[in-house]
Amino acid sequence: MLKKSQTSYRLSDRIFAALDMAIQQEDVAIAELLLPALERSMTRNAGGGEFVERRNYPDELVEVIDRLEKLKKADVLAARASL
């Protein structure tokens, strides 16, 4: 799903690419905005009021989320060190 060319037509693929780029550029603020947008774009047409998401995230997305968490921890440590 997520490993497509930059000309992909899915909104979620483009948001994923932007999220990956934000993490590469160590821009935590933008990455934190993009992650919920990605999650919403992946599930926006699913189910009704009592719908429960049962699919797993693709491995690529799990890896990007892990990288974001590590980047956030590094930001916190850097902020503490500068105090």
As given in the structure block, the two tokens for residue 76 are 């916190």
Q: How far is CA 58 from CA 5, 13, 38, 62, in A?
A: 17, 12, 12, 7
The whole-number pLDDT of residue 6 equals 54
Chain center to CA of 8: 17
Domain residue ranges of the chain, discontinuous segments joined by +: 11-46+56-81
Rounded to an integer, what distance in angstroms lies between the CA atom of residue 17 and that of residue 81? 31
Torsion of Cα atoms, 19 then 20 then 23 then 25, to 10°: -110
pTM above 0.85, yes or no: no
As given in the structure block, the two tokens for residue 77 are 């440590």
Contacts of 7 (CB under 8 A, 6+ apart): none
Tens digits of pLDDT across the chain (83 residues): 455 555 567 898 999 999 999 999 999 999 999 999 998 888 776 666 666 665 667 899 999 999 999 999 998 888 888 87
